[in-house]
Amino acid sequence: MTASFLGQDYLEIRNLTVDFDGFKAVDGVDITLHQGRLHFLIGPNGAGKTTLVDALTGLVSGTGEATFRHHDLLSMRSHEIVRLGIGRTFQTASVFEQLSVLENLDIAAGLHRSALRSLRARRTVPEPVEQALDTIGLTALAHRPAGILAHGQKQWLEIGMLLVQDAQLMFLDETVAGMSGDERDETGELLKRIVADRTIVVIEHDMEFLRRYADFVTVMHTGTVLAEGSVADVQADQRVQEVYLGTATEAATHG
């Protein structure tokens, strides 16, 4: 499924606008997301980051164009978008707490399973599930209910679920928020491992995490794209400093 695109996967967003009764939460955004890089999406609260992802995953309707593999995402429904190979996480971890880690992953792996086969009980662990367990480091906890996992482990399980559902484009909404320093590092390394043949978009507030792991940064402000580029480019941008790093800039100039 991935091989046919040979690293050419990209999502092209043109003039995307989300209009909530006259309030434009996202206003004419152009972004191109390329495979193989960790693309960070940052901006102050209310900049429209999550709304942008909501529009791209069918949660809210938007106008404009968002083309992925010749499909216009804006005209598709959520589960169809997922079947196209696009997955997302939410700000609050939303694993199925009463199911085991393994069952969580197995359900994520099941979208291409036929109805008849799903009437049978699971006897063996599917290959992708076993791999994902290994990648996210939760093999030893496979049979434990997901509800007992630590916060960071739940977020990794979410990433694992995206892996087994074969998401080529992942939107991670504030995944490292609330994680300890070690968990952040492990998450960053995990993302670096899996990004090679995928496109990963990370919505994040943590500047330290951004500096260490971002390959490309898009800064949003009041629903528009303010600046784009490498971490260094964005940090040097005057406007970004004004709207987003305002206090930090002041501190820098005073100090």
Partner 1 sequence: MTSTATETSGPPDAAEPETSDEQPSKSLTPSLARRMSSYGSLVGIAILAFVLLVWAPSTLTSFRLGNLGRYCAMALASMGIGLAWGRGGMLVLGQGVFFGIGGYAMAMHMKLEAAGPGGVPDFMTLYGDGTMPGWWEPFRSGPFTVFAIIAMPAVVSFVLGYAILKRRVKGAYFAILTQAMAVAFSTLLVATITQTGGFNGLNSFSTFFGHNLFDPQVQKNVYRLAAGLVIVFLVILWQLYRSRYGELLLATRDGEERIRFLGYDPANVKLVAFMVAAVMASIGGALFVPIAGIISPLDVDASASIFLLAGVALGGRASLFGPVLGAIAVGYGRSTLSENFPTQWSYFLGALFILVVLLLPGGVASLWPMLRARWSSSSEPSRSSSTGDDAVESGDADRVAPAATS
Query: For binding to partner 1 (CB under 8 A), which residues are involved?
Result: 57, 77-79, 82-83, 87-88, 90, 94-100, 102-104, 106-108, 110-111, 113, 115, 117-125, 130, 133-134, 137-145, 148-150, 153, 161, 165
Nearer to partner 1, 31 or 161 (CB): 161
Round to whole Å and give the CA distance between 181 and 174: 15
| Minimum CB distance to partner 1, residue 79 (Å) | 5
DSSP tag of 6:
T
| Minimum CB distance to partner 1, residue 125 (Å) | 4
Apex CA 74: angle with CA 92 and CA 110, to 5°? Answer: 55
Nearer to partner 1, 127 or 208 (CB): 127
Residue 98 has φ and ψ, to the nearest 5°, of -85, -10
| Minimum CB distance to partner 1, residue 110 (Å) | 6
Cα–Cα distances (Å) from 255 to 145, 244, 248, 250, 251, in that order, read 50, 19, 10, 8, 6
Phi-psi region of 122 (alpha: psi -120 to 50; beta: other; left: phi over 0): beta
DSSP tag of 36:
T
Task: Spell out the residues 6+ positions from residue 239 whose beta carbon is closer than 8 angstroms to its own.
Answer: 226, 227
Nearer to partner 1, 125 or 243 (CB): 125
| Minimum CB distance to partner 1, residue 252 (Å) | 39
Round to whole Å and give the CA distance between 200 and 87: 10
Nearer to partner 1, 53 or 234 (CB): 53
Nearer to partner 1, 35 or 57 (CB): 57
Amino acid at 229: G
Amino acid at 211: R
| Minimum CB distance to partner 1, residue 102 (Å) | 7
| Minimum CB distance to partner 1, residue 124 (Å) | 7
Nearer to partner 1, 60 or 125 (CB): 125
DSSP tag of 145:
B
For tokens 């499909």, what's the residue? 71
